[in-house]
Amino acid sequence: MKPNLDRARAWPVTPGTKGRRAVPRGVAWPGALLGVVALLCVGCGGSEEDAAPVIRPVRYQTIFSTGGARTRSFSGLSRASVESRLSFKVPGTVTRVAVSVGDHVKSGQLIADMDPKDYRLQKEEAEASLRRQQAQARNAQADYDRVRALYENGHASLGDLDAARAGSETAAAAVRASEKGLELAVSQLGYTRLTAPVDGAIAAVNVEANENVQAGQTVVVLTSGSTPEVQVAMPEVLIGEVTEGDSVLVTFDAMPGRGFPAVVTEVGVASTGMATTFPVTVRLGESGKDVRAGMAAEVAFRFASSDGKNRIVVPPVAVGEDREGRFAFVVADVKDGTGVARRVPVRTGDLTSEGLEVVEGLSDGDLLVTAGVNRITDGQAVRLLGLTRAGSDEAGEAHAGADGAAGDERSPAGAAGSGR
């Protein structure tokens, strides 16, 4: 085929092109035409094929009702069932402290001594005063006997007899007062010795020898009693649900893995200080002999539902909130490991250590989506991670591993049908 020389001659040579002919406007390159055609073909071919629907994998758990009861734990400190702060009844100077912290003492055993010199002098003074009053009482009685004899013989008036009788009675009363003074002085002299009132152990010693102490100032702290106690502070919203005799469970940080049953023995009727909490005391049984005073404790109280409604505890991340309120997603119409996510409105209760309470919106046996609730929509098709397809465990594991096996390894699925 011969080239079209006439058309080639018709193309003018553009100045400065060194003989190259310019391409006329409106004449397209063959390569550009081929590129446009290829793009059009690709676009037409994609519109003919429908995109495969995306099924989002989700984590889930099967939820169960708690029966309306809930457990609350409160912190406290253990203490002896009897804790006595022993002190002198009189002021003075301590001469000796006979015990140390941790010593076990018997009833009547010496705890501390005080300088008795001043109180011994007071006792001697009371004894002398008593002897003086006794002498005056004997003299007054003799005067009365003499005046009475004269009155009987008509040699004394009735007034003289009355005066003598009054003097005798006054002297007798003075004697009785001196006897009480001597008794008080003897008691104060005995108060210079501090002894243990009961068997127990010394928990603290607050004074040293040669210190001056006041009457009532704590010298030692004595603990006694075979069963320890724990006192906690109960909020005002729950104090009405606690009664004496309730059973509780006490745990100690120093004794991990052990629980001690206890019984509520005291329920406060007034708040402590400026706080709005009330003191509640629980007493451990015989199993708490290893517990020492001052150990940090957790006391678990179980409260029944006041309205009789069952409560469901779920992970807090499973509940979302938007302008329409709080909601959760449950998976319905489950077949071969896939289902449909349904949005349900929920009403929540308290946030506890076990999770978030849901009082309305969920039911026993619901498959609750526990992660990604803000990334799915109502009616969206989802796949349950960890749920195998019917009749093939291997197929289910492979299917779950394609989209989230790593997550399943971090949280193994539970035997009760939980996806975590």
69-97 burial by CB neighbour count: b if 16+ within 10 A, else e? ebebbbebebbbbebbebbbebebebeeb
| Residue 302, pLDDT score | 84
Domain assignment of residue 141, yes or no: yes
Helical residues (DSSP H) of 153-290, grouped into ranges: 158-190
Are residue 260 and residue 282 in the same domain, yes or no?
yes
**Same domain? 290 vs 397:** no
Mean pLDDT on 118-143: 94
CATH number at residue 237: 2.40.30.170
Query: Is 419 a domain residue?
Result: no
In this structure, are 137 and 178 located in the same domain?
yes
User: Is the same domain home to 108 and 211?
Assistant: yes
212 and 299 fall within a common domain? no
pLDDT tens by residue, 66-113 = 666 677 888 999 888 888 899 999 999 999 999 999 899 999 999 999
Domain holding 343, by residue range, is 58-67+309-410
Amino acid 14: pLDDT: 47
Q: Same structural domain for residues 313 and 390?
A: yes
Q: What is the pLDDT of residue 408?
A: 37
- Under the banding of pLDDT at 50, 70 and 90, the label for residue 308 is low
pLDDT at 29: 45
Compute the distance between CA of residue 70 and CA of residue 350 in angstroms, rounded to an integer.
10
List of residues 6+ apart from 268 with CB closer than 8 A: 234, 239, 278, 279, 280
Indicate whether 244 and 282 sit together in one domain. yes
Is residue 21 domain-resident? no
pLDDT digits (tens, 9 = 90+) for 257-274: 888 999 999 998 887 765
User: What local confidence, expressed as pLDDT, does residue 310 receive?
Assistant: 63
- Cα 252–chain centre separation: 12
Q: Of 303, 331, 349, which marks where a domain is finished? A: 303
% of the chain beyond a pLDDT of 70:
75
In this structure, is residue 415 part of a structural domain? no
**Mean predicted confidence (pLDDT) in 395-417:** 35
Do 402 and 336 lie in one domain? The reply is: yes
Residues paired with 200 in a beta bridge: 105
Residue 18 predicted with pLDDT over 60: no
Q: Which of 158-172, 235-249, 351-365, 401-415 has the highest mean pLDDT?
A: 158-172
| CA distances to 103, 330, 333 from 381, in Å | 72, 12, 10
Same domain assignment for residues 314 and 370: yes
Assess if residue 197 is contained within a domain: yes
Is residue 366 in some structural domain? Answer: yes
191-210 residue pLDDT tens: 999 999 999 889 899 999 99
Could you report the per-residue pLDDT of 28-69, keeping only the tens digit for each? 444 444 454 444 544 454 444 455 567 888 888 888 776 666
Structure tokens at 394: 């291997």
pLDDT at 191: 94
Does any domain span residue 34? no
CATH number for the domain that contains residue 377: 2.40.420.20
Q: Is residue 100 part of a domain?
A: yes
How large is the average pLDDT for residues 170-186?
94
Task: Mark whether 125 and 228 lie in a shared domain.
Answer: no
Structural domains in the chain (count): 4
CATH (domain of 135): 1.10.287
Is there a single domain that holds both residue 149 and residue 105? no
Q: Same domain for 177 and 287?
A: no
